[in-house]
Chains A and B, each alone.
Chain A
């Protein structure tokens, strides 16, 4: 399975170019190198998400986490690379597959894990759960359970930026399955019409539950192009390579900050785990998953580069891993000892006292 694609080779590229406003999707071949510091940061961030998610999966198995629990394992480079491309005050919004986004936004792993277990120290004080967390402080706007609902919401965040006259950008993440919802196109139209600073990040992990992208989407090989009729430029990006993600993110952020309106980034990525915790996994082969893990793992790629460049040795990498494991263990511990919400919380937060 290819994770990168050159848009030059695709049939509609000339048609999009003709529109004058859309540019061709870029190849990720010319990926700029990271500095040693960037490599280390990416490694740290991605590993934190990976370890956190592994622990969440484990706690789910123990019955400590209930309901749905959508893990981000395999997709870490997308959110980490994008986060490296934005700055203070830029907003992030996503679906229910949100743990990675929250950690990348700098939210406290303890608060996230405690929300997963439904405890009072959770970001939503136990009332939201895995799919519904928010942080005004970190500009994370959720955590949305209805497929594609976050797309107009993220567009609205960009609208607020424009009305308030800031140069902030809204990162609006959604799955490739979500791209088939009508509200995505209603959003594209308004964003382009009104020149809104929103980056639509399609996390194309190839599957929406058990439906492969090709079975659900017309012209599924070029989702980045789905804004072209609205004049929204799009790029397809190797979402397993954090450098490619950041480079595309840099371009998109610059585009938005320059007042040129929205942009679409289609991140070619992969989820290693099931859709949620119960997943019969009959829709893909074990070999396919194995191949992605072995040949394209986003964390392993950075690790190999760090080792090859001599920036870090095995021991130093092990120390990082140890540190992260400690952070995650502390979060898991907190999430299990923290009490459940007070019963009176049932009746709070329904309306603001006005």
Chain B
């Protein structure tokens, strides 16, 4: 069967070019690798090599021809024993490459509503968080709740291990891993060198290999060193492998501003991670949610970013005393019901928000407060339902507002509840500056209770 030699592309964007010169003539024998022609575009010149063995049966495009389309036959190669008579059949225009089988047209999912991709293991997390009547509630710090979550999951599943800087002997830079080394030993509670990019990659590799790593970043500021593995290796591999290679890993640590630690140690990464398909992102506020969400995250078959907050570590909340307290990912929680304005926040932002709700109540304004708990996938249904009721929305976050969580919520609400809004959505956020060190400037850079109160009044026009 004669073989067509096609006009090659010099680059992924090349559509046509000039067949500058033939270096062979009809009747010449060629073997693969022989240079047979030169082609040119406005950007470059390239030699065309034969990829098969044979005899040049016919040259279809004369040298010097301009605007030769990529993939057009330029010559015909004959095998041993073939002659020119077999050419005409082969020289018919090349068939268009087969179109991909028409896939069912994907309907765009509302942001955050995408179904979880095929995952290598089953998630056993209930869809709600009902606490059975009579369950004892134990006041617990967020710090201890996170530790308990890891300890329980490590007891439950030998594949779970904890790795990071100072997590073992030092008991955690912020003492979140206190006691884990004692209980589980150095094989499962591992101190790493200061080498974030390296150990994040090692964690992802271990997850590919069947483990369930919990990788602690001393703070998320240092996870910027590891960003490539979090995004390129952990978040994208399931997709790139056509669903084969899931990555059940949790990256966790304190996120956002602590106090007076300056620009390089005070960044909120909520929006960064939340913009990445292939990641789930949780940002708990209360100890009960910290425990329940982290346990669910460790069982999740996907990479989960757990954004904690240093200031909240020491705060105590009631945690249900249950054998297996799980909070599902992707479900927001109405912390406080109200009728006049919806206020959506997460993590430490709720400290301001709840205080503002109190202050507003004192002025006769009833605010509904929603704790997002999971940032991706975001429970927009809960937000929309609330906005349908209050018709007014304020978002509160400590991070920067440009392309932030509040911006995303505002877009979703505009899309899905435009007619329900009685005022433009207001965003309260950290100021659009790196975090300053000076006490007075730091205070100005962060959102305040007053900022939230003012925003609520703006949407209420009072």
Task: Give chain A's interface residues, CB within 8 Å of chain B.
Answer: 66-68, 115, 118-119, 124, 126-132, 144-148, 177-178, 180-182, 208-211, 215-217, 280, 282-283, 340-341, 343, 345-347, 350
Contacts and interface: CB of A to CB of B under 8 A. Distances in A.
Given A144-B264, A145-B262, A341 B438 contact: yes
A283 B170 contact: yes
B439 interface: yes
Given A209-B170, A209-B173, A346-B445, A181 B195 contact: yes
Contact of A66 (B170, B192, B193, B260): B260
Given A66-B259, A67-B259, A132-B262, A127 B436 contact: yes
A346 B433 contact: yes
Interface string B354-387: 0000000000000000000000000000000000
A350 B436 CA distance: 11
Interface in B48-106: none
B441 A211 contact: no
Contacts of B444: 343, 346
A148 B198 CA distance: 14
B197 interface: yes
Contact of A181 (B173, B194, B437, B441): B194
- Of the candidates B222, B225, B431, the one having the most CB atoms from chain A within 10 angstroms of its own CB is B225
Given A128-B262, A146-B224, 13 more contacts: A68-B265, A130-B437, A131-B262, A132-B263, A144-B264, A210-B169, A216-B191, A340-B439, A341-B441, A345-B436, A346-B436, A347-B431, A350-B434
Interface in B246-263: 258-263
A216 B440 contact: no
Contacts of B270: none
A118 B193 CA distance: 32
Contact of B260 (A129, A180, A209): A129
21 contacts: A66-B260, A67-B259, A118-B437, A126-B438, A127-B436, A127-B437, A127-B438, A129-B260, A130-B262, A131-B262, A145-B265, A146-B225, A148-B194, A177-B193, A180-B198, A181-B197, A208-B194, A211-B166, A216-B192, A283-B169, A346-B441
B263 to A, nearest CB: 7
A343 B440 CA distance: 7
A282 B438 CA distance: 32
Interface in B400-437: 431-434, 436-437
Contacts of A209: 165-166, 170, 173
Contacts of B432: 350
Interface residues of B, number: 37
A132 B195 CA distance: 22
Given A118-B260, A341-B438, A182 B198 contact: yes
B440 A340 contact: yes
Contacts of B264: 131-132, 144-146
Contacts of A283: 169-170
Contacts of A127: 263, 436-438, 441
A343 B442 CA distance: 10
Contacts of B193: 177, 180, 211, 216-217
A59 B263 CA distance: 22
Nearest to A282: B170
Interface in B150-197: 165-166, 169-170, 173, 191-197
B221 interface: yes
B44 to A, nearest CB: 29
Nearest to A276: B261
Contacts of B166: 209-211
A340 B438 CA distance: 7
A141 to B, nearest CB: 15
Interface in B213-235: 221-222, 224-225
Contact of A126 (B170, B261, B441): B441
A263 B68 CA distance: 57
A278 B165 CA distance: 17
B342 to A, nearest CB: 29
Contacts of B439: 66, 118, 340
A349 to B, nearest CB: 9
Contacts of A126: 436-438, 441
Interface in B119-134: none
Contacts of B260: 66-67, 118, 129
A212 B414 CA distance: 54
A340 B437 CA distance: 11
A128 B440 CA distance: 13
A343 B259 CA distance: 18
B438 A118 contact: yes
A282 B168 CA distance: 13
A217 B193 CA distance: 7
- Of the candidates B197, B225, B264, B432, the one having the most CB atoms from chain A within 10 angstroms of its own CB is B264
Given A129-B260, A129-B262, A347 B170 contact: no
B195 A180 contact: yes
Top 6 nearest A-B pairs (CB, nearest first) are: A129-B437, A66-B260, A67-B260, A118-B438, A180-B193, A126-B438
Nearest to A343: B444
Given A209-B166, A215-B191, A181 B225 contact: yes
Nearest to B197: A182
A94 B306 CA distance: 31
A132 B434 CA distance: 13
Given A67-B260, A180-B195, A343 B441 contact: yes
Contacts of B225: 146, 181
A67 B433 contact: no
A151 B197 CA distance: 16
A119 B438 CA distance: 7
A178 B441 contact: no
Nearest to B173: A209
B227 to A, nearest CB: 12
Given A66-B259, A67-B261, A127-B438, A347 B194 contact: no
Contacts of A217: 193
B433 A350 contact: yes
A131 B263 CA distance: 10
A211 B438 contact: no
A124 B264 CA distance: 14
Nearest to B192: A216
B170 A128 contact: no
B433 A347 contact: yes
B126 to A, nearest CB: 39
Interface string B303-321: 0000000000000000000
B221 to A, nearest CB: 7
